Structures are given as C-alpha cells and as structure tokens.
C-alpha cells in the first residue's frame, strides 16, 4: 500500500516537473490489452468449461480488444460433438445465444497443454512454431494482460486434458514475465476447484498482478445450469457470475473491486478469493476487458445458484437428471441405461476410495487407525510442494485406475497426498506404497 502511494506521489511530482510543451500520452494510447483465454478440459461432460471461455471471448472482443490480441486455447470437441443436438452451437445459459460463433481458436486438441500455455504467456514464439496458430502474447511493459483459465483443479495444480500444471511452475513464469517487463498490469481470473491454492502464499504482492479465484485452497468450484436437452451443465458458477456482471455493466465505470464484491456475494457456494496486488482493485475493468461500448443485447438469465453442484458431482448429477427425465416419460430403456451409468460411477468411486485407503494404510501402518483417519480427513494447506508435485505425477503415471488428470473425484483425493506430505514420511516411502497398490 505504502509503496503504491509512493509511486503515485512520484508520478505526480514528475508530471509537474515536466517542461510545459511535453505532452503525456493519452491513457488509451498508453498501452493495449491482451487476453489469453483457456479451457483445460475436453469431453461432453465438461461442456461448461469451453462454453465459459467462448463467452469470455465475446466479452473482450465485444469491448474492442482486437482479434490479434486475443489468444484462445480450447480442445474444440464440443460444438460438433456427436452429443450436440445443435451442431456448431455452444450456449452458456439456458436458452442462451450461440457463444461459439466468431470465436477464433488458436490452439486446439492436443495443443491445449501446459507447455504451450506457458510458452504463449512468455511470448516464446520460437517454441510454438508450427503449433496451432503460433500466436503468443506480445505484450509490452505498457500493456495490460487478462488471463482466464477454466477447468478442473486440485491442491496446487490445474489440469489440462493430459497433464497437470503445478502452482510453482505457473508462479515462476509470472515472475519471469514481470522481470522481462511483459505487462504493465495483469489480471488473472481462475475457475477451478481449490483454485486459491494456485496463488495463496505464492503470488507476489508487488508485481502488478491480481488473481481472482472461484474457490479457496480447499474447496470445490461449482457447475451450474443443467440443460435437459443437452444433458450437461452449461456454465460454472463463478465464471457465469463475473461474465453476466460484465455483460450488464459499464466496464469504464465499474472497478475490479465492485465486480469482485458482487460476484463473491453471488457465488455463495464457494469462497471467491483475491491474491496478489490488491491495490489493482481500484482499476476499472475496461483496463483489461476492453473499453469500447459493447452494443450487444443481453438476455435475462435465470439464477445460476439454483442447480449448482460441486464439480466432482457433475457426472453423477447428469445421470440422475437423465434418469429422472426418463422416468417422467416412462422411457424404460433410457432409465435402465442411466441407472447402469450411475452404478458404474459409484463403483469407480469405491475403487478410487479403496486405492487411496490402501496407500494411506501402507504409509501410516496397518494398525495406526488414528493416523490413517487424520490422513484421510485432514484439511492441511499445501506447503510441501517438493513432496507433493512428484507424488502427484507418479500417481498419474502409475495409477491408471484413478483417471488422472481428468477425473474430478480422484482429483479431490489429492488432498490426502497433501496430508501425507505434511507428515514426516519420506517421498520415497509414499512412492513405494503407491507402487505396491497400483500394479
């Protein structure tokens, strides 16, 4: 705070000290905006992540951020998915308009991965040559950058279709971007489970970066807007809330803080959090989302809280809703199918629980029930990153039954790895227990 005040003071005094014929550049010309929008998942059950990102594209584009300065990474398997009754269309609210229309995707399919994401952030054009559109952030020290990532997460990591991005690796890159003067200010909106853990005690407070997350370090984020016809969820609670707010307000007169307060209140199933340079809260949203008038007609939207479910319950809720609808129609075949799907999901969950319990029992000792209980139920914050990251990678590579990185029910269990790492067990002991269980 003090340092910001000092900077403002210095700027003011420098201004007065300038010769009178020196013209300061107008604010609008002082820098341009860049946006990097990423959906880290694939599959029809994750429809909502790509829908959110398409909507975000419409917001920044609609507010005048040029196409060349928006980079989109999304798998792109939704619009023309065989499950899509409206080919070529993606919607982000019930009865909503097609948000897929006009979206320019730069990296799709396998190119949606952490390596490419970090290269794009750092403007490393040579590293993405021949990959996707090859577009990277070319932001300068006077430019503002908006990053929006939507997908699954777990303590200290966010997921891409086949790989994890660990919190440390992201924060190292943000530090480097700062050192290389690749932005003036950077706003990061993150919607994943346990999203707070990507920045908590990692993001610097003096690097002109503000991160807003859908949840704190130990909570799920929530899906919303189940669509009976599409048989999937259309949005995520935090994302839908900030984007509907952006659609309805004048971004030239609404500060980040105003949006944060409104969205935090509306997203009342998880704690929306802020990290980094909180002084940036006083900036107008137009500094990041674009300052032109969006002449777009906004449809009324139903309350997204009403059917919101935690991310790990999305698959089972979809099947339950299908079952319920089939029952009302007396569609026996569909009832049987969805019932079988529910049974399969339940069985898979039991297998996951069992794998994790066996690992904990091997590490803590068969007889040590109290210790096992603490491992299984504890809610420690993640500090032992050197222990956690390699173990999570090992689980992903050697425990195929857990379906990492994409299965949210398994991702939720990574909390137990946090607990194991907080206790005095060596990484080797934990890895050898994993090897015994996951053969």
Ligand X SMILES: *[C@@H]1O[C@H](CO)[C@@H](O)[C@H](O)[C@H]1NC(C)=O
Q: Are strands 33-39 and 70-73 parallel, antiparallel or unpaired?
A: parallel
Name the token pair of 224.
Answer: 């919303």
Q: Cα separation of 388 and 273, whole Å? A: 23
**Which stretch of DSSP H or E encloses residue 145?**
strand 144-150
* CB 379, min distance to ligand X, A: 7
* CB 313, min distance to ligand X, A: 16
Q: What is the DSSP letter of 185?
A: E
Binding site for ligand X (CB under 6 A): 216-219, 266, 268, 271, 303, 305
Q: Which is nearer to ligand X, 36 or 224 (CB)?
A: 224
Instruction: Kindly name the residue from 152, 224, 387, 413 that is annotated as catalytic.
Output: 152
* CB 303, min distance to ligand X, A: 5
Which among 301, 304, 337 has a CA at the least distance from the CA of 320? Answer: 337
Q: What 3-state class would DSSP assign to 103?
A: coil
* CB 338, min distance to ligand X, A: 28
Which among 36, 35, 42, 192 has a CA at the least distance from the CA of 110? Answer: 42
Instruction: Kindly name the residue from 54, 63, 166, 193 that is annotated as catalytic.
Output: 193
Q: Which is nearer to ligand X, 75 or 260 (CB)?
A: 260
CB 137 within 8 A of CB 36: yes
The dihedral built from the CA positions of residue 14, 19, 22 and 26, taken in this order, carries a sign that is positive
Which among 353, 360, 317, 362 has a CA at the least distance from the CA of 338? Answer: 317
* CB 424, min distance to ligand X, A: 23
Q: Cα separation of 181 and 175, whole Å? A: 10
10 Å CB burial of residue 145 (0-12, 13-18, 19+) is: buried
- Residue 438 among the catalytic residues: no
* CB 408, min distance to ligand X, A: 17
- Residue 193 among the catalytic residues: yes
Helices (H), 23-90: 27-30, 47-62
Name the token pair of 404.
Answer: 């990492």
Q: Which is nearer to ligand X, 92 or 241 (CB)?
A: 241
**Which stretch of DSSP H or E encloses residue 328?**
helix 314-329
Q: Which is nearer to ligand X, 216 or 358 (CB)?
A: 216
Q: Which is nearer to ligand X, 213 or 246 (CB)?
A: 213
Q: Which is nearer to ligand X, 376 or 438 (CB)?
A: 376
Catalytic residues: 152, 193
């Amino acid at each position: 705070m003090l340092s910001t005040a000092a900077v403002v003071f210095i700027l003011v005094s420098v201004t007065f000290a300038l010769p009178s014929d020196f013209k300061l550049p107008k604010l609008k010309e002082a820098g341009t905006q860049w946006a990097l929008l990423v959906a880290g998942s694939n599959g029809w059950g994750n429809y909502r992540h790509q829908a959110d990102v398409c909507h975000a594209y419409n917001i920044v584009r609609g507010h005048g951020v040029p196409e060349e300065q928006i980079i989109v990474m999304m798998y792109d398997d939704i619009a023309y998915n065989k499950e899509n009754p409206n080919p070529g269309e993606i919607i982000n609210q019930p009865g909503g308009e097609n948000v897929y229309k006009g979206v320019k995707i730069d990296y799709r399919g396998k190119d949606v991965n952490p390596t490419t994401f970090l290269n794009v952030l750092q403007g490393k054009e040579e590293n993405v040559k021949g990959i996707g559109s090859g577009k990277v952030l070319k932001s300068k020290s006077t430019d503002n950058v908006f990053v929006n990532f939507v997908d699954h997460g777990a303590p200290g990591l966010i997921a891409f279709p086949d790989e994890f991005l660990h919190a440390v690796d992201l924060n190292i890159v943000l530090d480097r971007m700062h050192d290389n003067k690749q932005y003036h200010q950077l706003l990061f909106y993150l919607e994943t489970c346990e999203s707070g853990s990507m920045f908590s005690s990692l993001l610097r407070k003096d690097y002109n970066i503000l991160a807003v997350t859908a949840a704190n370090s130990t909570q799920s984020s929530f899906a919303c807007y189940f669509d009976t016809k599409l048989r999937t969820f259309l949005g995520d609670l935090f994302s839908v809330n900030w984007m509907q707010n952006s659609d309805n307000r004048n971004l030239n007169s609404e500060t980040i803080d105003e949006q944060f307060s409104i969205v935090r209140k509306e997203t009342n199933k998880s704690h929306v959090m802020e990290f980094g340079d909180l002084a940036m809260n006083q900036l107008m949203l137009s500094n990041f989302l674009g300052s032109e008038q969006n002449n777009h007609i906004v449809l009324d939207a139903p309350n997204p809280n009403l059917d919101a479910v935690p991310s790990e319950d999305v698959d089972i809720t979809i099947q339950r809703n299908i079952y319920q609808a089939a029952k009302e129609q007396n569609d026996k075949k569909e009832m049987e199918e969805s019932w079988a799907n529910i049974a399969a999901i339940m069985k898979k969950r039991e297998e996951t629980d069992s794998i994790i319990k066996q690992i904990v029992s091997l590490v803590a000792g068969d007889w040590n029930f109290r210790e096992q209980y603490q491992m299984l139920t504890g809610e420690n914050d993640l500090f032992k990153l050197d222990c956690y990251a390699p173990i999570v990678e090992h689980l992903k590579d050697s425990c195929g039954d857990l379906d990492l990185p994409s299965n949210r029910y398994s991702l939720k269990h990574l909390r137990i790895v946090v607990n194991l790492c907080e206790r005095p067990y060596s990484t080797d002991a934990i890895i050898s227990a994993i090897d015994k269980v996951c053969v």
